[in-house]
C-alpha cells in the first residue's frame, strides 16, 4: 500500500536527521538504508522523539519504493560519488515515469548534470540539492540549495521549504538554476567554509604560538568576537572547541587533537572549478593547500628539526588587529567565491542570483553569519558581482586591510604560516593595482615563445627584437 508522502534512502548522519525533520513537519516518510541496522537505529530515534508514527521503515528497496505515493519523490542521502550512481541504478527500474529523485549529498555538479541528462529520456525527474548545516541543521533546519528543472522544483518546494532554516521569516531554501546549479553553489559554499576555517585556524596559531595564549584565553577572545562583526556559527563553535577539556587528562581537548585536517572533496572541487573558470580564488586554494600540508605530519616534524620552530621568538599583535584581519580576509575570500559562482553562472546559463544565495546562507548553513546578512542587503541594491566594489564592503575593507597587513607582516617575521590570510592580502593588493607587472611576463613569453604582446596605440600581437641567448646554467 502506498502510504508515504515521500521516501528517503540513506540513514547516515544527514539522512536520519533530514528524515526526522520531514516527519516533524507532518509528512509521512518511508525510509530505507543499505544496512538494516541503521533502519533500526533510526526507528529507535524516531520513537524517542515521538515521530515513529510518521516513519515507514522498509529494508527491501522495491517495497520501500512501492510504499511511496505516486508520483513519487525519493530523496537519496548516501555517500557522494559511485554510491549515488549505484543507488540510481537500483532505483530506476523500480520507479515510474513522472517520479523524481532528489539527491541531497555533496555531489560534484558535473555528476549531477550527467545524472539529470541520463534520467530525462526515461521520464524521471532529478533535482541536485546542496544541504548545509551538519547534523543539527539537517534535524532542525538546514540551508537548501536546489538545482534542476523548475517543474521538479515546484513539486518538491513545499517539503524542502518546510524543513529548511528560516531567517526572520524568510526560508533559507531556494531554487538556484537548472542542472548542477544547486550542487555547484553548495561546493563553493564549502570552499568558502574551508577559507573561513583556515583563517580562523591561522589566527588561533598566532594566539597560541605568537602571543603565547592558552586555549582558554583564546576561547574567551573568540566568544567576545562572536558578539561583534565576526558573529557567526564558525566563530561560535571555535570558542566551544577551544574551551573543551579532556575528561581523562584535564587538558584542553584541542591540544590533544592531532593537527591533521581531513577533507572529503568539496574544497578541492571549488579550487579546480575556480582554476577551470579562470577566476582567482587564492584564499580557497590556500585553505585546501593548508589541509594537505597539515596531513604531512612526518615531513613537518623532519623539517622543523632542520629549520627551527616557527613562532619560537614570539610575535607582537593587537587582538583588535587580529579581529579586523580576519574580517578583511573573509571579505576577500567571499569576493573570490562569489566571482567563481558568477562566472560559472555565465558559462552554464544558470542565472544565479548572488543576493538569493547570500540570503539562503544567512541561517542553517555552516558559514551562517552576520556578515552574510550585510552581504544579502548589499547585493540587493547593487548589480555588482565584486564584493570588493560594493560600497558597504569598500568601507569595511578600507578599515580592515591595514590590520590585515600588520598581522601578515608580523606573522611573516615571526615565521608563522598564514597561507590563507597572506594570499587574501596579496589578492587584494593585486586586484587594486592599476599598473601591474604582467608586462614583464608578456615580454618573457614573447622572448622565449614569440607569443606576442600588446602596446596601447600600436596594437596587439607585437613582437620584440630580442638578443639570441645561450643557457648559462647549462654551460
Ligand X SMILES: NC(=O)C1=CN([C@@H]2O[C@H](COP(=O)(O)OP(=O)(O)OC[C@H]3O[C@@H](n4cnc5c(N)ncnc54)[C@H](OP(=O)(O)O)[C@@H]3O)[C@@H](O)[C@H]2O)C=CC1
Interface residues with ligand X (CB under 6 A) are: 10-15, 33-35, 38, 77-80, 83, 86-87, 105-106, 131-132, 134, 264
The residue sitting closest to ligand X, measured at its beta carbon, is: 12
183 is in an annotated binding site: no
194 is in an annotated binding site: yes
The least distance separating ligand 5RP from the CB of residue 138, rounded to whole angstroms, comes to 10
User: Can you tell me which of 22, 164, 221, 366 binds ligand 5RP, judged by CB under 6 A?
Assistant: 366
Q: Which of 228, 220, 227 is nearest to 204 (CA)?
A: 220
CB atoms within 10 A of CB 284: 29
Is 276 noted as a catalytic residue in this protein? no
Whether the Cβ atoms of residue 142 and residue 158 lie closer than 8 Å to each other: no
Binding status of residue 81 toward ligand 5RP by CB under 6 A: no
Q: Closer to ligand 5RP at the Cβ: 136 or 246? A: 136
Give residues 248-267 in contact with ligand 5RP (rule: CB under 6 A). 262-264, 266-267
The least distance separating ligand 5RP from the CB of residue 132, rounded to whole angstroms, comes to 4
99-128 footprint of ligand 5RP as x/- string (CB under 6 A):
-------x----------------------
Catalytically annotated residue among 58, 178, 186, 359: 186
Q: Exposure of 156 by Cβ count < 10 A (0-12 exposed, 13-18 middle, 19+ buried)?
A: buried
Judged by phi (left if over 0) then psi (alpha if -120 to 50, else beta), residue 383 lies in alpha
The least distance separating ligand X from the CB of residue 37, rounded to whole angstroms, comes to 7
Q: Which of 86, 89, 128, 92 is nearest to 111 (CA)?
A: 128
**Which grid cell is 361?**
546562507
Three-state DSSP class for residue 271: helix
Which segments of 80-168 are extended strands (E)? 100-103, 125-132, 143-148, 166-167
Three-state DSSP class for residue 77: coil
Geometric angle at alpha carbon 429, from 425 and 431, rounded to 5°: 115
CB under 5 to 8 A by kind: which of ligand X, ligand 5RP, none does 193 bind? ligand 5RP
Positive or negative CA dihedral for 79, 80, 84, 85?
A: negative
The least distance separating ligand 5RP from the CB of residue 106, rounded to whole angstroms, comes to 5
Q: Closer to ligand 5RP at the Cβ: 235 or 328? A: 235
Q: Closer to ligand 5RP at the Cβ: 196 or 323? A: 196
133 is in an annotated binding site: yes
Q: How far is residue 236's CA from residue 132's CA, in Å, rounded to a whole number?
A: 17
User: Can you tell me which of 21, 171, 190, 345 binds ligand 5RP, judged by CB under 6 A?
Assistant: 190
| H or E segment to which residue 199 belongs | helix 181-205
Give residues 118-177 in contact with ligand 5RP (rule: CB under 6 A). 132, 134
The least distance separating ligand X from the CB of residue 126, rounded to whole angstroms, comes to 16
Whether the Cβ atoms of residue 49 and residue 78 lie closer than 8 Å to each other: no
Is 82 noted as a catalytic residue in this protein? no
Q: How far is residue 42's CA from residue 12's CA, in Å, rounded to a whole number?
A: 9
Positive or negative CA dihedral for 64, 111, 352, 200?
A: positive
Instruction: Extract the annotated binding site for NADP(+).
Output: 10-15, 33-35, 78-80, 106
Residues that bind ligand 5RP (CB under 6 A): 106, 132, 134, 190, 193, 262-264, 266-267, 366
Catalytic residue set = 186, 193
Instruction: Extract the annotated binding site.
Output: 10-15, 33-35, 78-80, 106, 132-134, 189-190, 194, 264, 291, 445, 451
Amino acid at each position: 500500500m502506498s502510504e508515504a508522502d515521500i521516501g528517503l534512502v540513506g540513514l547516515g548522519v544527514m539522512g536520519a536527521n533530514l528524515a526526522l525533520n520531514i516527519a516533524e513537519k507532518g509528512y509521512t516518510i518511508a525510509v530505507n538504508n543499505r544496512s538494516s541496522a541503521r533502519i533500526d537505529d533510526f526507528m529507535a530515534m524516531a520513537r524517542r522523539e515521538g515521530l515513529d508514527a510518521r516513519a515507514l521503515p522498509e529494508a527491501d528497496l522495491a517495497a520501500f519504493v512501492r510504499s511511496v505515493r505516486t508520483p513519487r519523490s525519493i530523496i537519496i542521502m548516501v555517500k557522494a560519488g559511485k554510491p549515488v550512481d549505484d543507488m540510481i541504478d537500483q532505483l530506476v527500474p523500480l520507479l515510474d515515469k513522472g517520479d523524481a529523485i532528489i539527491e541531497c549529498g555533496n555531489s560534484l555538479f558535473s555528476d549531477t548534470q550527467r545524472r539529470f541528462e541520463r534520467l530525462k529520456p526515461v521520464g524521471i525527474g532529478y533535482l541536485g540539492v546542496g544541504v548545509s548545516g551538519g547534523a543539527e541543521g539537517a534535524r532542525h533546519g538546514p540551508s537548501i540549495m536546489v538545482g534542476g528543472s523548475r517543474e521538479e522544483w515546484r513539486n518538491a518546494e513545499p517539503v524542502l521549504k518546510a524543513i529548511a532554516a528560516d531567517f526572520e521569516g524568510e526560508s533559507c531554501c531556494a531554487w538556484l538554476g537548472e542542472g548542477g546549479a544547486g550542487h555547484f553553489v553548495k561546493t563553493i559554499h564549502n570552499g568558502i567554509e574551508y577559507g573561513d576555517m583556515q583563517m580562523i585556524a591561522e589566527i588561533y596559531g598566532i594566539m597560541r604560538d605568537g602571543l603565547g595564549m592558552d586555549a582558554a584565553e583564546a576561547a574567551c577572545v573568540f566568544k567576545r568576537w562572536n558578539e561583534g562583526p565576526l558573529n557567526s556559527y564558525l566563530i561560535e563553535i571555535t570558542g566551544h572547541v577551544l574551551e573543551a577539556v579532556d575528561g581523562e587528562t584535564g587538558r584542553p581537548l584541542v591540544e590533544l587533537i592531532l593537527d591533521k585536517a581531513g577533507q572529503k572533496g568539496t574544497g578541492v572541487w571549488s579550487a579546480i572549478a575556480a582554476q577551470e573558470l579562470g577566476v582567482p580564488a587564492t584564499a580557497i586554494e590556500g585553505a585546501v593547500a593548508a589541509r594537505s600540508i597539515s596531513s604531512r605530519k612526518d615531513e613537518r616534524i623532519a623539517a622543523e628539526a632542520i629549520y627551527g620552530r616557527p613562532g619560537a621568538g614570539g610575535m607582537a599583535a593587537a587582538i583588535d588587529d587580529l579581529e579586523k584581519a580576519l574580517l578583511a580576509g573573509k571579505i576577500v575570500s567571499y569576493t573570490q567565491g562569489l566571482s567563481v559562482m558568477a562566472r560559472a553562472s555565465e558559462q552554464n546559463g544558470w542565472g544565479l542570483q548572488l543576493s538569493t544565495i547570500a540570503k539562503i546562507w544567512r541561517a542553517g548553513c555552516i558559514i551562517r553569519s552576520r556578515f552574510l546578512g550585510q552581504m544579502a542587503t548589499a547585493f540587493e541594491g547593487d548589480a555588482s558581482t565584486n564584493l570588493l566594489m560594493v560600497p558597504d564592503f569598500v568601507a569595511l575593507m578600507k578599515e580592515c586591510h591595514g590590520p590585515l597587513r600588520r598581522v601578515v607582516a608580523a606573522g611573516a617575521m615571526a615565521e608563522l604560516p598564514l597561507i590563507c590570510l597572506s594570499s587574501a592580502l596579496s589578492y587584494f593588493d593585486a586586484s587594486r593595482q592599476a599598473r601591474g607587472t604582467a608586462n614583464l611576463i608578456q615580454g618573457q613569453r614573447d622572448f622565449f615563445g614569440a607569443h606576442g604582446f600588446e602596446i596601447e596605440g600600436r596594437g596587439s600581437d607585437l613582437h620584440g627584437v630580442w638578443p639570441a641567448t645561450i643557457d648559462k646554467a647549462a654551460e
